[in-house]
Every structure is written in C-alpha cells, then in structure tokens.
Amino acid sequence: MMEKMINSLKKLGLNRYEAQAYIGLTKIITGQADEIAEVSNLPRSRIYDILNQLEKKGFVEITRSRPLRYTVIEPTVIFKQEKENLIDELQSTEKKLEELYLNNTSEVQAPVWLIHTTDNILEKEMEVIKKASKLITLRAGFLLKGEAQMMIKAFNHLPRSVKIKIIANKECYVENEKIEIIDIFKKAKLSNLEIVEGDLPMMKMLIRDGRELVGTFARFEGENNSVKPETAIGVNNRYEALCKNFNDYFIKQFNMLNSFNKKITKK
C-alpha cells in the first residue's frame, strides 16, 4: 500500500523522499522537522531540504516559529488541484496535436474506408462529431435505433459555438419500428442545432467542418421502406475537396428549405 501511494505521488512531481515525508506528515497533520523525519523514516540530515521542496510544490505550509512547524495540505485539496492541472494539460496537448493532424491531413493522400456493422458505423460517427470545431451537417434519410440519442449526447459535449444543421425526413422505420427523427432532435432543445424537414433518399451523410464525412447506406423493404440494419455499410471519406463540395451543396439545400418553411409558416 505504501509503495502504491509513493508511486502515485511521484506522478504528481514528488521524488521518493518527498513522497515519504508527505505521507508521514499526513499521519500527524502538523509537526517539527525531527518528528516528521521519525514518522517518515527519513534521515534527519535531509529532512529540512525535503520539507522546503514540499512547501515550494504546495504540499505543506511552514509556520515561521522557533522551531519551525510544518502542516500538511489536505490530500483532497492537493489531488483536486493536480487532477485539474493534469486535465487542463492533457486537453491543451490534445487540441494542439489535433490541430497539427488536421492541418496536415490535406497534404497526405487520404484513403476511403468502408465501415462494416452498425456498431462500428455509430462509433465512427461519434468520433467525427467529437472532432468538430465549427460545423456539423447531417442529411438523415434514416437513422438507426438509438442513433439520434447518441448524436444528441455527443452534440451536448461540443462547444455551443459549433453549429449543427440537419436536414431529415420526418420519420423512418428500422425493422418496422418507427423513429420520429424530427421530433427527437427538436425535443433536445439545443441552442446551436437547426433542423428542417426534407424529402430525402434512404441514405445518411454526416460531415464535420467540411473536411470529413461518414456516409451510410442500407437496404430497405416493404411499403414503409423499413431499413435492414444488418445490411448497413458506412464510408469514411477525408478527401477535403469532395467533403467541401458535399457540404456546400448541403448548406444551399438547407437554406432553401429553411426559407421555404418560414414562408409557409407566415402564411
């Protein structure tokens, strides 16, 4: 148990002696240097330097009395702050690396990937949504079961500055079960989401920032064009010129439908 605590504290920037001193001081809360050396099983000749380093790193407070007294900073406070610092650092690094990746994607001949099984298609869509920085467009001739709810959850994690525009059929059927596409998205009440109803073919296309798309095709049958999810095939495409063309066409179609619907509403 002791070794696990020492290793954890090392990850927060302490060396072995500093970790031992902090653990020892946690046991007595406050004390003089010789008391801390004894409870931590550390050499007295080193304890002042160790405690001074712990103060610099924010793990102890020193009362300037004679003799000096050292008080432990509560572990909950330490770990909360360190976790926040670590998360901030990781998020900053992730953002910088992602920018490097995206800025250089166009310089590499990006292949087109086929995606098999609905689980893999949904996973790829969530991954693409997560990377959006400006705009998500979705042309939804159909959605799979639970897909709208997964998308809404992913949309909620995006900054509100990321615009989401959707053209969708009012409803679709999957294995003869009705999915109310328009109603599901409207009930989410996302301030950055706009949706208009269209008369779309039975396919789906999600585009991120005009740079990457996931298209999905599936067989359907019966009078209600019920989708057979086991036949679904996804396509992940990162050719920017192609993605931009599809995205530009989407925006024109969206604006036209939106304008038309507003005129109908006024009448």
Q: Are 168 and 183 in contact (CB under 8 A)?
A: no
**Choice between 264 and 80, residue whose per-residue pLDDT is larger:** 80
The pLDDT of 166-184, averaged and rounded, is 95
Task: Find the CATH number of the domain harbouring 146.
Answer: 3.30.870.10
What is the rounded distance in angstroms from the CA atom of residue 138 to the CA atom of residue 129? Answer: 11
The alpha-helical segments, DSSP class H, found in the chain are: 2-11, 16-28, 33-40, 44-56, 75-105, 118-130, 147-156, 181-188, 240-266
Q: 185 in a domain, yes or no?
A: yes
pLDDT at 257 over 80: yes
Q: 85 in a domain, yes or no?
A: no
pTM: 0.59
Q: What domain range includes position 8?
A: 2-76
pLDDT at 88 over 90: no
Tell me the Cα Rg of the chain: 28
Cβ neighbours of 267 (radius 10 Å): 5
Single out the residue in 53, 76, 99 at which a domain terminates.
76
What is the rounded distance in angstroms from the CA atom of residue 246 to the CA atom of residue 238? Answer: 12
Q: Which residues are CB-neighbours of 257 under 8 A, at least 6 positions away?
A: 167, 196, 197, 198
| 209, β-bridge pairs | none
Q: Which one-letter DSSP state was computed for residue 266?
A: H
| 149, β-bridge pairs | none
Q: What Cα–Cα distance (Å) separates residue 241 from each residue in 3, 130, 151, 248?
A: 55, 21, 25, 11
Q: 102 in a domain, yes or no?
A: no
Q: Which residues are CB-neighbours of 244 under 8 A, at least 6 positions away?
A: 210, 211
pLDDT at 101 over 80: no
**Structure token digits, residue 131:** 């990377």
pLDDT at 9 over 50: yes
Which DSSP helix (H) or strand (E) runs through 220?
A: strand 220-221
* pLDDT, position 265: 47
* pLDDT, position 82: 82
Phi-psi region of 117 (alpha: psi -120 to 50; beta: other; left: phi over 0): left
* pLDDT, position 239: 86
Question: Is the bond preceding residue 67 a cis peptide, omega within 30 degrees?
Answer: yes
User: Do 125 and 251 belong to one domain?
Assistant: yes
Domain tally, the chain: 2
| Residue pLDDT, tens place only, 190-240 | 999 999 998 898 899 999 999 999 999 999 998 899 999 999 999 999 888
User: Do 64 and 133 belong to one domain?
Assistant: no
User: Do 126 and 249 belong to one domain?
Assistant: yes
| 236, β-bridge pairs | 113, 214
* pLDDT, position 267: 47
| Residue pLDDT, tens place only, 119-143 | 999 999 999 999 999 999 999 999 9
SS3 35: helix
Query: How is the beta sheet containing 60-63 ordered, strand by strand?
Result: 30-31, 69-72, 60-63
Report long-range pairs for 93-98 (Cβ below 8 Å, ≥24 apart).
98/131
User: Do 49 and 120 belong to one domain?
Assistant: no
Q: Which residues are CB-neighbours of 36 under 8 A, at least 6 positions away?
A: 21, 24, 25, 28, 42, 47, 51, 70
The pLDDT of 78-92, averaged and rounded, is 82
Single out the residue in 76, 98, 118 at which a domain terminates.
76
Q: 101 in a domain, yes or no?
A: no
pLDDT class of 150 with cuts at 50, 70, 90? very high
| Residue pLDDT, tens place only, 23-80 | 999 999 999 999 999 999 999 999 999 999 999 999 999 998 888 999 999 999 988 8
User: Do 148 and 242 belong to one domain?
Assistant: yes
**Choice between 139 and 82, residue whose per-residue pLDDT is larger:** 139
